[in-house]
Amino acid sequence: MVGEAAKTVIFEIERRDKTDEKPYWEKFELPYRMNMNVISALMEIRRNPVNMEGKKTTPVTWDMNCLEEVCGACSMVINGKARQSCTALVDQLEQPIRLQPMKTFPVVRDLIVDRSRMFDTLKNLKAWIPIDGTHDLGEGPRMPERKRQWAYELSKCMTCGVCLEVCPNVNDKSSFIGAAPISIVRLMNAHPTGAMNKDERLNLLMGEGGIQQCGMAQNCVESCPKGIPLTTSISAMNRETTVQMFRNFFGSDRMVD
């Protein structure tokens, strides 16, 4: 732990200049400031990129946007744990603080990764609420309060990628889409308008890399920074895809929800 009496903070950062280059480690020592987070430390390194050997180096690159754990852009591996760097306080981390990019996604440079895999999955699953044009359609359908409350919990997903990073079934030998897209399908299907495309999303969810490849390791729900009930969503979608499978086989007109 780093206390107020500490005068410096040491960072060990896994760096990579290009996607196809081998990573290397570089150490930085910074003056300690009270309430310092990892993002502010990276900003200080960017302002004065000099490593512990006293050599001038290139500024460390990383992603960030909101700085309040809403956008999910600043996700990285901090001391072996995938999390957001904006809410990672130096006082609560063991030194040296080791920063690494998430390994589930291709590394672009240093701590920046390309999360297109996850975003493309959401596109393929049609994870949005369709509307008929952009004109004024009046009030939308109301959602029952009980459903609205649990749907709100699902809507907290910021597509940070942490659940994919910690999942043993998401790797370069698997096409598994991960927990976040499955939970977002549940959210879209719960919406009164989104439910009109429910069957289509469920069929897509049963495709290659879909829900059937989940091993229920539960790492996702334990690591989600927003506390989203991901395993509950996966279980719910397992039930719904099973029903959908029978609907497809026997014909929807012969099935009753």
Q: What is the pLDDT of residues 31-60, one digit of tens each?
A: 999 999 999 999 999 999 999 999 999 999
Tell me if 8-113 shares its fold with 116-254.
no
Q: What is the pLDDT of residue 1?
A: 47
User: Between vectors from CA 178 to CA 177 and to CA 181, what angle results, nearest 5°?
Assistant: 80
DSSP structure class, residue 134? S
Of residues 27 and 137, more confidently modeled: 27
Ordered by start, the domain boundaries in the chain are 8-113, 116-254
CA–centroid distance for 27 within its chain: 27
* Single-letter amino acid, residue 11: F
> What is the mean pLDDT of the segment spanning 211-229?
95
Question: What is the rounded average pLDDT of the residues 163-180?
Answer: 94
- The share of the chain scoring above pLDDT 70, in percent, equals 95
State pLDDT tens for residues 241-251.
Answer: 999 999 998 88
**One-character DSSP codes across 148-211:** HHHHHHHTT----SHHHHH-TT-STT-----HHHHHHHHHHHHSTTGGGGHHHHHHHHTSTTSG
Rounded to whole angstroms, the Cα distance separating 83 from 225 reads: 7
Whole-number Å distance between alpha carbons of 130 and 134: 10
Return the CATH fold of 116-254.
Answer: Fumarate Reductase Iron-sulfur Protein; Chain B, domain 2 (1.10.1060)
Domain at 8-113, CATH from 3.40.640.10, 3.30.230.10, 3.50.30.40, 3.10.20.30: 3.10.20.30
CB count within 10 Å of CB 83 equals 20
- pLDDT for 120 equals 96
Does the CA dihedral 239-245-246-247 come out positive or negative? Answer: positive
- Would you call the peptide bond into 96 cis, given omega within 30 degrees of 0 as the criterion? yes
Residue type, 164: L
Residue 223 CA to residue 166 CA, distance in Å, equals 7
Full DSSP string of 44-95:
HHHHS-B-TTS-B-PPP----SSSSSSS-TTEEEETTEEEETTS-BGGGSPS
Instruction: Find where tokens 């390994």 sit.
Output: 103
Q: pLDDT of 185-211, one tens digit each?
A: 999 999 998 999 999 999 999 999 999
Q: At what angle do helices 230-250 and 198-205 cross, to 10 degrees?
A: 100
pLDDT score recorded for residue 254: 53
pTM, full prediction: 0.88
Q: How many CB atoms are located within 10 Å of the residue 178 CB?
A: 25
Nearest to 185 by CA among 244, 118, 233: 233
pLDDT 10s digits, 151-160: 999 999 999 9
Report the C-alpha gap between 145 and 123 in whole angstroms. Answer: 28
